[in-house]
Amino acid sequence: MSNLRIRLSQLTNKKVPALALVVVAMLGMVVGVLAANITVTQVTSTTGEIGTYHNNIGGFTVTDTGLAVVSNTNATDGSAQSFTILGTGVSLNNPLTAGHWMDIVTFTPASPTTTSHIAKLTFRSGSGPDGTALIPTVTSGTWTTNGGSTGTVTFYVDLGTTSITTAPITAYITVT
């Protein structure tokens, strides 16, 4: 125990070089100035997409995952493809142009039976009961489900604009 007391007293008797004290004081001042000048600005949310209207016969669960910007142009229009939904995911799109806004909608078979379905996607912007159509309605090909259909259909819809000037955007999705 006395050995510990001796070491503590020796530690407190050591002299700290003046330069080390100056460096620590300067560092403390710099950190204080930086902390005083940081301003946090809260970004107000945009009113991009306010709602999605789903008219669904119950064959699919429709999920609108929201707006995104197209990163790569894909001029191939695959929206009207007809196929049977099996256990893997299928991606569809109308012609995509880099820089345009797009909406991403996912269709998941709710309780698959052997039936055929067609999806219609309409996107409107602006206020009022209908707003203004951004693009003509995109109509899918015929999607056939069977008792084992577990795959999803992800639809990438180019909205045909690089600037959404009249908010809000409303998606009208019908599955028959």
pLDDT in tens, the chain (176 residues): 567 777 666 655 666 666 666 777 788 777 776 666 555 554 444 445 555 565 666 678 888 888 899 999 999 999 999 998 888 889 999 999 999 999 999 988 887 678 888 989 888 888 766 778 888 889 999 998 888 888 889 999 999 988 877 778 888 888 88
Contact in structure between 143 and 154 (CB atoms under 8 Å): no
- The two beta strands, 90-93 and 153-158, are parallel
pLDDT at 41: 54
pLDDT at 86: 86
pLDDT at 44: 44
Residue 44 falls inside a structural domain:
no
- The two beta strands, 115-117 and 83-85, are unpaired
Residue 42 falls inside a structural domain:
no
Separation CA 5–CA 147 (nearest Å): 81
Residue 13 falls inside a structural domain:
yes
How many angstroms separate the first and last alpha carbons of the chain? 86
Residues 65 and 89 both lie in one domain: yes
pLDDT at 167: 74
pLDDT at 46: 43
Contact in structure between 56 and 120 (CB atoms under 8 Å): no
Range of the domain at 58: 49-175
> For the chain, how many structural domains are there in total?
2
Residues 14 and 53 both lie in one domain: no
Contact in structure between 155 and 118 (CB atoms under 8 Å): no
pLDDT at 130: 73
